[in-house]
């Protein structure tokens, strides 16, 4: 850890913990202490640590073919794109390396579509406050949190921010310069905020009426995390563009921008690219991950275990006045407190449970979709103790 402080850029407030091994929903530190990982590697490991099918594919593909230029065809990427299309609204897929790169591609696609379909003055993206879309310059500009902007101004022009879950605010913001609306179907970093049932259908209607695109950032909610394969499926409407990353290859870096045929056709040869995006290695692992999620019906499992967790946390709210609200969908759950969340996160870690914050006052639970009932019960016990000790 001393070398970490000495040699790595200090862009993260790392916990005093050095993790060296993982299996399923558990990790171990350098001293051999065991922890329940209810962070899933920051919502990346839907299948948990070192899932046997993923490990097997990593070994197999690493020994077969890791990377080729995108000037050549490669079977794993083709098969993963086909499966994503068959299981979503989309007709086409562009592979990249991360969520930020996937969102960057979505922003570029929306701008080019609006300029070529309507006029060169149509380029603005409406995003929401407290959203999070990435750390590149365009995606941090799209992010609706001023704290991520500081020091990087001037920001990329052409973004507006409106309150989340407020259709009237979106309606007022749309004008003849608007190209698209970009939202998360559930705000993750912004505090695990689930919108009203009519929000996404309302956005769809507003976008259709104005002839603009609806982009859904499913980087955190996709791959079954929200109790359906894609969170938008809860709403009954589909986007024009969707972005994926995090859990798509269960820990191997990958991003994906999915779109309808009409929108995807705007990106012609040479207009966009990614050197490492869509490598045989990453897409082979992604294909194994998505196949496993589907074959083991993990979205349904996430919905069932999530309902149980939320029910138990709601019951806990009766005895812990520190809990203001419990919210979430599937296995993306936020516990909003009446006090800062960091002390509770620290007490949980000391007792062997790793959880995240989401904003200043929300404890975020995101266990792997394969988490066992026994581990959920153990986590609830640790949370109960940590909340009890955190009362001022």
What's the CA angle centered on 389, arms 384 and 43, to 5 degrees? Answer: 55
CB 330 within 8 A of CB 365: no
Mapping DSSP to helix (H, G, I), strand (E, B) and coil, where does residue 100 land? helix
Phi/psi for 125 (5° steps) reads -115, 130
- Residues 246-277 as b or e (16 or more Cβ within 10 Å = b): bbbbbbbbbbbbbbbeebbebbeeeebebeeb
Give 151-207 pLDDT, tens digit per residue. 999 999 999 999 999 999 999 999 999 999 999 999 999 999 999 999 999 999 999
The pLDDT assigned to 391 comes to 61
**Predicted local confidence at residue 2, as pLDDT:** 85
User: What gap in Å lies between CA 384 and CA 363, rounded to an integer?
Assistant: 13
pLDDT at 392: 57
pLDDT at 162: 98
SS3 annotation, 62-89:
HCCCCCCCCCCCCHHHHHHHHHHHHCCC
Strand stretches in 230-279, DSSP E: 241-244, 255-259
Task: Quote the CA–CA distance of 187 and 311 in Å, as a whole number.
Answer: 21
Kindly state the DSSP code that residue 247 receives in the 8-state scheme. Answer: G
| Residues in the chain where the model's pLDDT stays below 70 | 390-392
Which residues are known to be catalytic?
A: 132, 217, 246
**Gap between the terminal Cα atoms of the chain:** 31
CB 264 within 8 A of CB 101: no
Among the listed residues 112, 136, 132, the one whose alpha carbon sits nearest the alpha carbon of residue 122: 112
DSSP string, 279-344: -HHHHHHHHHHHHHHHHTTHHHHHHHHHHHHHHHHHHHHTT-TTEEEEEEETTEEEEEESS-SHHH
Burial 143-172, CB ≥16 within 10 A → b, else e: bbbeebeeeeeeeeebbbbbebbbbebbee
What span, in angstroms and rounded, lies between the C-alpha atoms of 252 and 115?
Answer: 35
Rounded Cα gap, residues 23 and 9, in angstroms: 28
**pTM, whole model, 2 decimals?**
0.96
CA–CA dist 136, 134 (Å, integer): 6
10 Å CB burial of residue 113 (0-12, 13-18, 19+) is buried
């Amino acid at each position: 850890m001393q070398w970490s402080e000495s040699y790595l850029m200090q862009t993260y407030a790392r916990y005093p913990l050095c993790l060296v091994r993982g299996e399923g929903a558990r990790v171990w530190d350098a001293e051999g202490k065991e922890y329940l990982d209810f962070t899933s590697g920051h919502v990346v490991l839907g299948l948990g640590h070192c899932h046997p099918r993923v490990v097997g594919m990593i070994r197999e593909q690493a020994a077969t073919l890791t990377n080729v230029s995108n000037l050549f065809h490669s079977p794993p990427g083709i098969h993963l794109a086909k499966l994503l299309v068959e299981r979503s609204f989309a007709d086409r897929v562009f592979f990249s390396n991360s969520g930020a790169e996937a969102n960057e591609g979505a922003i570029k696609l929306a701008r080019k579509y609006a300029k070529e379909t309507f006029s060169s003055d149509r380029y603005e993206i409406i995003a929401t406050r407290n959203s999070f879309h990435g750390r590149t310059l365009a995606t941090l500009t799209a992010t609706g949190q001023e704290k991520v902007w500081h020091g990087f101004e001037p920001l990329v022009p052409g973004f507006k921010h409106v309150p989340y879950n407020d259709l009237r605010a979106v309606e007022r913001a749309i004008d003849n310069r608007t190209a698209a609306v970009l939202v998360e179907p559930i705000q993750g970093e912004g505090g695990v905020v689930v919108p009203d049932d009519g929000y996404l259908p309302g956005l769809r209607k507003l976008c259709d009426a104005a002839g603009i695109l609806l982009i859904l950032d499913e980087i955190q909610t996709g791959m079954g995390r929200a109790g359906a394969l894609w969170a938008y499926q809860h709403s009954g409407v589909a986007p024009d563009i969707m972005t994926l990353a995090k859990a798509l290859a269960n820990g191997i870096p990958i991003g994906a921008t999915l779109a309808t045929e009409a929108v995807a056709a705007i990106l012609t040869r040479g207009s966009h690219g990614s050197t490492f995006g869509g490598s045989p290695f990453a897409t082979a692992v992604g294909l194994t991950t998505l196949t496993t999620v589907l074959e083991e019906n993990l979205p349904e499992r996430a919905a069932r275990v999530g309902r149980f967790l939320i029910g138990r946390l709601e019951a806990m709210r009766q005895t812990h006045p520190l809990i203001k609200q419990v919210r979430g969908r599937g296995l993306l759950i936020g516990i909003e407190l009446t006090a800062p969340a960091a002390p509770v996160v620290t007490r949980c870690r000391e007792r062997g449970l790793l959880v995240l914050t989401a904003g200043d006052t929300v404890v975020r639970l995101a266990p792997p979709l394969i988490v066992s009932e026994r581990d959920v019960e153990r986590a609830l016990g640790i949370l109960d103790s940590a909340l009890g000790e955190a009362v001022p």
